[in-house]
């Protein structure tokens, strides 16, 4: 049996214990001591890590009455000295009590129940039973921080079941054997929990909501508490400073600057489109007047060197809009490879360009697809472009006949 020192001395960082057993499993070592400060995980809180006589503790699990420390290397001797990774443990204690304060506030203010919570590194996520809107979430965050500033003790108590049923925001599992461990923060929260927490709300430092999403009929809310919240705000600070420097403004001007940039981009796009259409017009006229006539159709095949996908799409659209009986195969070569497009006017129901397109893209060693009136894709073998275009035109001509 392992005595759980982490409950009696949640702020102790080192301990001495007697080795009860040690065994090797798949290159790792399972160590059982007569007592331990290593929390095995539970209630959404991850297990502790650290060292046992210098051997790295990778994982800690509870098995019946014993706590198993899984280490990377073996230990020697009868007495073992254990050291916790205190930064991680204290971070989890802050995150866990912070989560209680937030979940308690959500319950007290809005009767929103927390069905599940999990601490994963710097992230705490909680799932609620019903959707929580952003105003309720921010109100709970504000209330949790007010509880932090009031620096209220987080008491560990073992009351009788009648009191628990009356006061707890959630009931212990049905198979829980009394006495049930309750974490009580006077006036804020009263909940059964097996975790290790900060001893007063002031030590949580800060509760900050990060984001929220819909989840299984309720909400999944991500928050950070204590040092994890501080780390997040610091990274936010650096990002904001970068944005301020790029946009040449203060943090409160960033959104206005973005709005200006977006409207400028929009205007430039329209201008670019108008210019593209204007410079492509003479080419459209020339291609249509020199097109190969095949029954009622005009077949146009053309390669635009060093052109973008957008330019090719524009040229294609201008040709097939201007002459409803035109069928166009247009390709362009640039540093990304060969972009090829085949098609006709959408209203032309008698044409299917796909067989011709498939042949061309096969010769180009690429991928693509589309509908009977428009297919497109990228290829790699630019040296085979002329062959691909000729083969595609031949297939088109045969199919039209």
Taking phi first (over 0 means left), then psi (-120 to 50 degrees means alpha), and beta for anything else, what does residue 270 get?
alpha
Q: What is the DSSP string of 69-101?
A: EEESS---SSEEEEEE-HHHHHHHHHHHHHHHH
Report the nearest approach of Zn ion to the CB of residue 9 (Å).
19
Report the nearest approach of Zn ion to the CB of residue 379 (Å).
58
Q: Minimal CA–CA distance to 127: which of 43, 222, 207?
A: 222
Q: Minimal CA–CA distance to 358: which of 300, 318, 399?
A: 399
Report the nearest approach of Zn ion to the CB of residue 124 (Å).
11
Nearer to Zn ion, 31 or 183 (CB): 183
Answer yes or no: are the C-beta atoms of 328 and 302 closer than 8 Å: yes
Report the nearest approach of Zn ion to the CB of residue 59 (Å).
20
Neighbours of 133 (CB within 10 A): 12
What Å distances lie between residue 35 and 7, 12, 72, CA to CA? Answer: 11, 13, 20
Q: Which two tokens stand for residue 161?
A: 């079941």
Rounded Cα–Cα distance for residues 296 and 62 (Å) = 81
Nearer to Zn ion, 43 or 377 (CB): 43
Report the nearest approach of Zn ion to the CB of residue 43 (Å).
5
Give the strand pairing for 326-334 and 297-305.
parallel
Please identify the residue of the shown chain whose CB is closest to the bound Zn ion. Answer: 193
Nearer to Zn ion, 50 or 195 (CB): 195
Intra-chain end-to-end CA distance of the chain, in Å: 89
Nearer to Zn ion, 192 or 370 (CB): 192
Q: Would you call the peptide bond into 125 cis, given omega within 30 degrees of 0 as the criterion?
A: no
Report the nearest approach of Zn ion to the CB of residue 100 (Å).
6
Nearer to Zn ion, 153 or 295 (CB): 153
Answer yes or no: are the C-beta atoms of 206 and 225 closer than 8 Å: yes
Q: Minimal CA–CA distance to 129: which of 214, 195, 210?
A: 214
Binding region for Zn ion (CB under 5 A): 43, 193, 195
Report the nearest approach of Zn ion to the CB of residue 193 (Å).
3
Nearer to Zn ion, 101 or 229 (CB): 101
Nearer to Zn ion, 104 or 343 (CB): 104
Report the nearest approach of Zn ion to the CB of residue 225 (Å).
12
Nearer to Zn ion, 11 or 378 (CB): 11
Nearer to Zn ion, 224 or 298 (CB): 224
What percent of the residues of the chain are helix, what percent strand, and what percent coil, each to the nearest 5?
40, 35, 25
Report the nearest approach of Zn ion to the CB of residue 205 (Å).
18
What value, to the nearest 5°, has the Cα angle with vertex 275 and ends 270 and 277? Answer: 95
């Amino acid at each position: 049996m392992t005595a759980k020192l982490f409950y009696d001395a949640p702020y102790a960082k080192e301990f001495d214990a007697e080795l009860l057993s040690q065994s090797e499993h798949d290159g790792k070592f399972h160590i059982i001591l007569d007592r331990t400060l290593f929390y095995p995980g539970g209630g959404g809180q991850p297990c502790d890590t650290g060292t046992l006589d210098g051997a790295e503790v990778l994982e800690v699990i509870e098995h019946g009455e014993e706590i198993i420390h899984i280490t990377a290397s073996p230990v020697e001797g009868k007495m073992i000295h254990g050291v916790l990774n205190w930064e991680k443990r204290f971070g989890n204690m802050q995150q866990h009590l912070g989560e209680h304060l937030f979940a308690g506030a959500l319950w007290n203010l809005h009767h929103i129940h927390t069905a599940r919570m999990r601490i994963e590194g710097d992230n705490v996520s909680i799932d609620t039973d019903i959707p929580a809107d952003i105003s309720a979430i921010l109100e709970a965050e504000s209330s949790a921080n007010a509880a932090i500033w009031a620096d209220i003790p987080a008491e560990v108590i073992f009351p009788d079941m009648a009191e628990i049923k009356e006061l707890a925001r959630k009931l212990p599992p049905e198979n829980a054997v009394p006495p049930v461990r309750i974490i009580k923060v006077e006036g804020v929260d009263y909940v059964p929990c097996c975790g290790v927490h900060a001893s007063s709300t002031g030590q949580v430092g800060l509760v900050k909501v990060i984001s929220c999403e819909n989840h299984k009929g309720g909400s999944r809310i991500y928050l950070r508490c204590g040092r994890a919240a501080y780390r997040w705000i610091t990274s936010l600070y650096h990002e904001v400073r970068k944005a301020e420097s790029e946009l040449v403004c203060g943090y409160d001007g960033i959104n206005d600057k973005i709005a200006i940039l977006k409207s400028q981009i929009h205007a430039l796009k329209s201008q670019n489109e108008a210019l593209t259409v204007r410079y492509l017009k003479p080419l459209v006229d020339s291609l249509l007047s020199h097109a190969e006539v095949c029954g009622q159709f005009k077949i146009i095949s053309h390669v635009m060197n060093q052109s973008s996908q957008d330019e090719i799409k524009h040229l294609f659209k201008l040709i097939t809009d201007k002459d409803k009986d035109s069928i166009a195969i247009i390709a362009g070569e640039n540093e990304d490879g060969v972009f090829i497009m085949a098609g006709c006017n959408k209203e032309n129901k008698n044409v299917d360009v796909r067989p011709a397109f498939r042949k061309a893209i096969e010769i180009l060693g690429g991928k693509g697809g589309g509908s009977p009136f428009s297919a497109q894709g990228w290829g790699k073998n630019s040296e085979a472009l002329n062959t691909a275009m000729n083969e595609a035109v031949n297939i088109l001509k045969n199919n039209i006949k």
